[in-house]
Structure 1
Amino acid sequence: MEPPGALGPAWASLARRLSGPEPRRPAAGAAALEDLGALVDAAEWGRLWAGSGASVRGTLEMLAPVAQALEKHAAPPEEEAAAAAAGGAGRGPPEVAEKAEQVGSLYLKLLGKVAAAKSCADRAAWKTDVSHLAGPVYIFAVSHRVKQPWTSPRSRDVAGRVLASLLDVTECSSVAGFLRGENEEERGRFPVVLGLLKPDLNKESWKKNPAVKHVFSWTLQQITRPWLSQHLERVLPPSLLISDDYQTENKVLGVQCLHHIVLNVPAADLLQYNRAQVLYHAIFNHLYIPEHHLVQAVLLCLLDLFPILEKSLHWKGGAARPTTHCDEVLQLILTHMEPEHRLPLRRTYARHLPAFVGRLGILTVRHMKRLERVIIAYLEVYDGPQEEARLKILETLKLLIQYTWPRISCRLVVLLKALLKLVCDVARDTNLTPEPVKDALLQEATDCLILLDRCSQGQVKGLLARVVLNCKDSTVVSWIRKVQQNSVDTSILGT
């Protein structure tokens, strides 16, 4: 049996074999993994862990290059290389999944040896230096734990067991605790993970391993307030880089990372060095791309960014209130909404319109004409069985009437016609829309009619009286009666 000191060259030799060009050939890679497995089984781990803290530290540092080489060996290839490999020899997704299973099994062996060392090693030294091994193991586990083109059910299962074993070895109750530290005194491994990911997260290299962006994104999501602010300089550039890609999938992923940063970093830190403005312009430009998943992510992020951007804006009275970033975004949204005919995008825009009206309040009058056109146009179009767009447009109209009721009287007839047409269309629809959705639409439309009546001091009831006399549809008449039975009450309008 080899003495502990003689194992260093053996570990180093195996690390070189795994990270060199030879493992690209399946036979060479399998041989290196087999040799490593034999070495793990044969080593006298009790002698390696026994002794001083320096001995434990040296052993963990000796294993770190091997752990990194294993992680790189199981990494998926570049997307273009994987596509080329699909028709011939190479590292296609099935081969990557098979390698991940083998590497995961080796990681489980190593972690088992480390777990057994707790009883004989210097515990303080072990707790401090286990990050040398934990970082690469964590990246491997996160790369392969969920369904991706390069994973298989078996590789995902192995990766999940590796992550659970890693948390057990490091005595962490969760991934978040592993990354940020289980308590205030313990330093987390998030800086270690970021350091390992950094070489693969620059403009030239971040696409060479398609798993890196997912590892970074998922890891970032685990760090929340107040821990994230101290890492802002390290997580902001990669997030901006991913969001600036030409592929929509990457844009969405990057915007989601930026949104997490907005939610979990104090406003003062984001306003420093004009970071909030940089974020705003990077995200705002994505609104020109007509992809509903991207627009959804962008609008969610912007709505949380507005309070930070407008934190320093204070209206002093007298002069007109300055336009805000929210005004700018709403103007662009309404411009895109008017001619839009694709239902997924119409639903996405309509879903967020109430939040914009609610945020601007009375200042929504700046956008009254365009809002009126959008509301009327969207109420006319059937939106599918769930009628999401029309329900959200009715919610928007209710808020618009409540906030801008002094300006509604001149638009009373136009809005009344649009709402009555909607009520008639929904009441006569016998096939397409489920009854609960129809009831929701009719209730929302009725609420809007009641609000219109209240802000017009009862004019709507007078106009509806003629409709009731001439209408033969009992369903329409029953909903109109609900409007007529409401007393005039302006308290809901804020007066």
Structure 2
Amino acid sequence: MEQDSSRESPSQERSSLPGEPPSSALGQSFSQVLRRLTSQESRRGKTRSAALQDLGALIEAAECDQLFEGSGTSLRGMPEILGQVAKVLEKYAAPPKEQEGRGHANAEVAEKAAAVGLLILKLLGKVEAAKNSLLCPTWKIGLRHLAGPIYIFAVTHSLEQPWTSPRSHEVAGEVLSLLLRVTQCSSVAGFLHGENEDEKGRFTVIMELLKPDLNKESWKKNPATKHVFSWTLQQVTRPWLNQHLERILPPSLLISDDYQTENKILGVHCVHHIVLNVPAADLLQYNRAQVLYHALFNHLYTPEYNLIQAVLLCLLDLFPILEKGLHWKGGAARPTTQCDEVLQLILTHMEPEHRLLLRRTYARNLPAFVKRLGILTVRHLKRLERVIVGYLEVYDGPEEEARLKILETLRLLMQYAWPRVSCRLVVLLKALLKLICDVARDPNLTPEPVKNTLLEEATDCLILLDHCSQGQVKGLLVKTLQSCEDSKVVNCIRKVRQVSEGASYDGT
């Protein structure tokens, strides 16, 4: 695989272009134009426009047999030079490092990208013409050098980013479509992993091109690189991804370990994709799964609700892999797992939490942890009880997402740990009745459909609580039914009594 020189600085690029003299006059012309594009003078608008115009004229005037010619011994045949052209153009249109005045810089990048995209379309048009003419069999060699840099350019400017404009976005989309057509791929995924068994795919080539910009010192110099990497990674799924694990895992962890929340979330999404699409055996090898777990666990101490959401979803899919190596032999107590550790930390954070977005995020994921642990949730019962009671007391906005999820958690808890519920009967009964009264008396804050859902969920929990306590709830609700005047509360209590007694309930 050729070394990537497109990610080097302009001075390095300029010095690499002369090298061995090109084997044709056309190659020399291309090299001269590339020198102009990579020189300091190219920053001036007129010089840049003139160089791009000359490059476009060269591409248009070149015949297919000239454009893809090259001897077997020459290192500077036209396919290699065309690869250099694509790399320089991709680098030329790349967004600069984040800086002040980025609005003006982004507009300039979008303008460059639109102009470069039109040139690449001309170049791919020549490849397509050579492919259809059947008179230039070397077009495949040229395409092999062109495909990687052109793909990176297309993805960089076809994603919705600050450095794109409607025009550059449109041109980049056309470039990607034409690239797929020329390479005879029906999708980006097919382009990357290969659509046939005997076709290697280009994912390795793309990762090698991105590699110089994905190390600790350089990954922030081009703000597009992380997005191109993330988007490209998520196009490749089972069974193709595991063979690239050594290439994709370090950059994913590097991005997730950044101080900016946006980058942390992007990196966690990359890690999550790896967890979902790499076999457990490969992740367990060399302790990789433990490395991922500790990297994710550290994020749970941050107060960013969207990061917490991404991390918890990823951890829930990582737990089955981590627990594959655990085997309970009976007799002794089951060992605690990483799921226990995470749930304990979540409950610790939930108790004093007052920020609504974080409360909703924790509550949203709590039922999945109870399902995951099952009967072993009894290890956390005391803290769960405090969290459930505390969260049921607090109004959570018109959608009441947190309270609905807490009711779901309580229902699951009673289903899995019912022998331990009866001793908590009074506490849970008071919390549920208080919730029902608060919702029934709420004049206008909560929409009626949400109120009805809350009352139904709370009533179902009362019914389950009655089953767990061998019918004690019915007896405790008798006095409440006699003294209560609110029709909605009375309706819920009657439903609990009638369902618990085995009678059908018609809601009247």
Establish whether residue 435 from structure 1 lines up as the match of residue 453 from structure 2. Answer: no
Q: In 1, distance between residues paired with 2:383 and 2:303?
A: 20
Deviation at 1:14, TM superposition (A): 2.1
- What is the aligned counterpart of 1:295 among 308, 316, 320? 308
Question: How is 1:109-188 mapped onto 2 (pairs within 5 angstroms)?
Answer: 109-121=122-134, 126-127=139-140, 130-188=143-201
TM (norm. structure 1) is 0.93
Quote the Cα distance in structure 2 between the aligned partners of 1:53 and 1:158: 35
CA-to-aligned-CA distance 1:49-75 (integer Å, 9 cap, x gap): 5899999x9433220000000000000
Separation of aligned partners in 1, 2:274 and 2:346 = 24
Give the C-alpha shift of residue 182 in structure 1.
1.1
Mapping of 1:211-360 within 5 angstroms? 211-360=224-373
Corresponding position of 1:411: 424
Residue 493 of structure 2 corresponds to 480
Relative to structure 1, is the Cα distance of residues 71 and 409 closer, same or farther in structure 2, using a 3 angstrom cutoff? same
Shift in Å, 1:44: 2.1
Q: Percent identity, please.
A: 74
SS state of the match for residue 300, structure 2? Answer: helix
Deviation of the 1:318 alpha carbon: 1.1
Q: 1:21 aligns with which of 36, 40, 46?
A: 40
Question: How far 1:17 moved relative to its partner?
Answer: 2.5
Query: Runs (4+) of structure 1 moved beyond 6 Å?
Result: 50-55
Q: How far apart are the structure 1 equivalents of 2:290 and 2:322?
A: 7
Where structure 2 has 5 or more consecutive residues not aligned to the other structure, the ranges are 1-21, 503-508
> Residue 389 of structure 2 contacts residue 431 of structure 2 at CA under 8 Å; is this kept in 1?
yes
Aligned pair count reads: 480
- Deviation string 1:98-127 (CA, Å, 9 cap, x unpaired) is 001100111111111111111234787544
Q: Is 2:210 aligned against 1:191? A: no
The answer to whether the 8 Å contact 2:68/2:139 transfers is no
Q: d(CA) in 1 for partners of 2:136 and 2:275?
A: 39
- CA RMSD after TM alignment: 2.0
1:37 and 2:50 equivalent? Answer: no
Tell me if structure 2 keeps the 8 A contact 1:296–1:348: yes
Match of 1:374 in 2: 387
| Aligned-pair CA distance for 1:10 | 1.5
Distance of aligned partners of 1:400 and 1:123 in 2 relative to their CA distance in 1, 3 Å threshold: farther
Letter of the 1:33 counterpart = L
Is 2:120 the partner of 1:101?
Answer: no
Q: Match for residue 28 of structure 2?
A: 9
| CA deviation vs aligned residue, 1:439-492 (integer Å, no higher than 9, x gap) | 111111011000000011110011111111000001110111111111368xxx
Q: Is the 8 A contact 2:27 2:77 kept in 1?
A: no
Letter in 2 for 1:106: L
Q: Is the Cα–Cα contact under 8 Å of residues 69 and 77 in structure 2 kept in the other structure? A: no
Q: Following the alignment from structure 1 to structure 2, what is the Cα–Cα distance between the partners of residues 273 and 317?
A: 28
Write the deviation string for residues 168-194 of structure 1: whole angstroms up to 9, x where unpaired: 111110000000011111110111111
Task: Answer yes or no: is the 8 Å Cα contact 1:76–1:211 preserved in 2.
Answer: yes
- Deviation track 1:368-410 (CA, whole Å, cap 9, x = no partner) reads 1110011011111111111111111000000001111111111
SS in 1 for 2:273: helix
Query: Aligned to 2:417, what secondary structure does the other structure show?
Result: helix
8 A Cα contact 2:131 2:137, kept in partner:
no
Structure-2 residue corresponding to 1:202? 215
Letter in 2 for 1:389: A
Q: Tell me the residue number matched to 2:12.
A: none
> How much has 1:16 moved relative to structure 2?
2.7
Amino acid at match of 1:483: V
Deviation at 1:47, TM superposition (A): 4.4
Q: Per-residue CA shift, 1:318-371, capped at 9, x if unaligned?
A: 111111000000000001111111111111101100000011111111111110
The one-letter code matched in structure 1 to 2:43 is R
**Match of 1:197, SS?**
helix
Separation in 1 of the partners of 2:77 and 2:117? 23
| d(CA) in 2 for partners of 1:429, 1:213 | 48
- Cα 1:124–1:356 change in 2 (3 A) is farther
**TM-score if structure 2 supplies the norm length?**
0.91
Is the counterpart of residue 77 in structure 1 residue 96 in structure 2? Answer: yes
| Aligned counterparts of 1:323 and 1:395: Cα–Cα separation in 2 | 24
Counterparts in 2 of 1:123 and 1:439: CA distance versus 1, 3 Å: farther
Question: Does the 8 Å CA contact 2:192/2:236 hold for their aligned counterparts?
Answer: yes
Question: What residue is the counterpart of 2:437 in the other structure?
Answer: 424
- Please give the secondary structure, in 2, of the residue aligned with 1:335: helix
Deviation per CA, 1:195-242: give whole Å up to 9, x if none.
110011111110010000000000000000010000000000000100
CA distance in structure 1 between the partners assigned to 2:268 and 2:156 by the alignment? 20
In 1, the alpha carbon distance for the partners of 2:184 and 2:72 equals 19
